Amino acid sequence: MDKLIITGGKQLSGELRISGAKNSALPILAGALLSETPVTIGNIPHLHDITTTMELLGRMGVQLIIDEKMNIEIDTSTIKNFEAPYELVRTMRASILVLGPLLARFGSAHVSLPGGCAIGTRPVDIHLDGLAKMGADIKVEGGYILAQAKRLKGANLVMEKITVTGTENLLMAATLAKGKTVIENAAKEPEVSDLAHFLNKMGAKITGIGTDILEIDGVDQLGAKDLHYNILPDRIETGTYLVAAAMTGGNITVKNTRPSILDAVLEKLKEAGAEISTGDDWIKLDMKGKKPQAVSVRTAPYPAFPTDMQAQFTAMNAIAEGVAVITETVFENRFMHVQEMQRMGADIQLESHNAICKGVEKLAAAPVMATDLRASASLVLAGLVAEGDTMVDRIYHIDRGYDHIEEKLAQLGAKIRRIPN
Ligand code: UD1
């Protein structure tokens, strides 16, 4: 397994281009299964989860052509099976996103129950309940979801809990259902909206995009000639590099991003003492060499502070001035980075879903192990400010969701290298 070695102590500065959003690319690639005609998706990030999705679609018989600019053309006319096997789904939970499209368009889906990040139990009951309400016959057997439906029918769906991929799965299923579907208490994450805009470009009839009530009038088929859709920039990647710069007292500009979808994160960075300026597609952060102030955050669904930025802010608080509390309300068990940070000298106490962080003067390098995607990133950030060489092991988690992290950090002046296995 590859490892990253980070020598701490460098102040980050310079410019960086942000990649396309993983959490948009995954549902949109799955959504392409709904199209009768080939579609091309652009601004796709170089990530292991994208490779996994391509393999998943490829095994179904879907034709994929990828060019050197990472545009992916998807042609579903050769599809021959509707299965998402365990060996792929277990490495990427988001594989569940093929369930709605397969069922809606082909009337059948055989999808392994997901594994993925070790951050809580993360069930898919809301996905399955919604599809059942739309008339699907659903069984769970041998670790697989077996779903059948002649044609899904529109339904009134009130989501018991806000779920991002749950909303996306049901949204995709509803586009081809007979009649109208209303999804209440829908997730409002920008990536859900990006998927909805993509589906509308294919001919879907979705209104209420960006709100918590999505209304979908089902159509008979989807597809648009020569459709090329560029996915939105990755707000979590953006936030991660901004926090990295803030922790090192640095000064960076991130480009090809979208500040309007990062309000909660930018507010907290300002509270930490960063000077922030923004344009349509760029964000500049300047710490003027100062240490950050500790900031308390509470994660919740969008537009509140994202759980996917929680670990990075925990890392920042570990070396900040003062005391702050990080409260995780979206996932149980999403503090596995804390133990590793403690091994680097961080003073963080866990009390149920709160992490009480008392900033220390310095972290000390240690070998650490990543346990999930964002936790891994937070350990890299901790390494940037630790004294000595921090070795982050099991970085396949990082490669799932960060496009060339070591190259991007090196571009900003970090001392970081990958040790291939
Ligand atoms: C998505 C994101 C992930 C992010 C998370 C929360 C993708 C590919 N992944 O994950 O990066 O951290 O949103 O913003 O977009 N739940 C249920 N039953 C269900 C579904 C979810 O109880 O059927 C619960 C989960 O256990 C969790 C909460 O709902 O406590 C939110 O999870 P959800 O929004 O579904 O996360 P994902 O869509 O898996």
The predicted pLDDT at position 114 comes to: 80
Distance CA 224, CA 228 (A): 9
* pLDDT-flagged residues of the chain (< 50): 116-119
Closest by CA position to 211, among listed 126, 308, 302, 309: 302
Q: Which of 162, 165, 169 to mutate to test the pocket of ligand 1 (most atoms within 8 A of CB)?
A: 165
Is 160 near ligand 1, meaning CB less than 6 Å away?
A: no
* CA pair distance 341, 314, nearest whole angstrom: 9
Distances (CA, A) of 320 to 13, 175, 342, 363, 371: 19, 47, 15, 11, 24
Question: How confident is the model over 359-405, as pLDDT tens digits?
Answer: 999 999 999 998 888 999 999 999 999 999 999 998 888 999 999 99
Residue 13 CA: distances (Å) to CA of 16, 289, 367, 377: 9, 11, 26, 19
Q: Which residues are annotated as catalytic?
A: 117
**pLDDT > 90: percent of the chain:** 91
Separation of alpha carbons 81 and 67, rounded Å: 25
Q: What separation in Å is there between the alpha carbon of 97 and the centre of ligand 1?
A: 12
- Pocket of ligand 1 contains residue 279 by CB under 6 Å: no
Pocket test for ligand 1, best of 164, 192, 232 (most atoms within 8 A of CB): 164
Q: Facing residues of 367 across strands?
A: 391
- Write down the pLDDT at residue 121: 56
The DSSP bridge pattern shows strands 363-364 and 386-387 to be parallel
Q: How far is CA 324 from the centre of its chain?
A: 25
Distance 170 CA to ligand 1 centre (A): 14
* Rounded distance between C-alpha atoms, residue 136 and residue 148, angstroms: 6
**Residue type, position 73, single letter:** E
CA of 305 to the centre of ligand 1 (A): 15
Burial class (CB in 10 A: 0-12, 13-18, 19+), 220: exposed
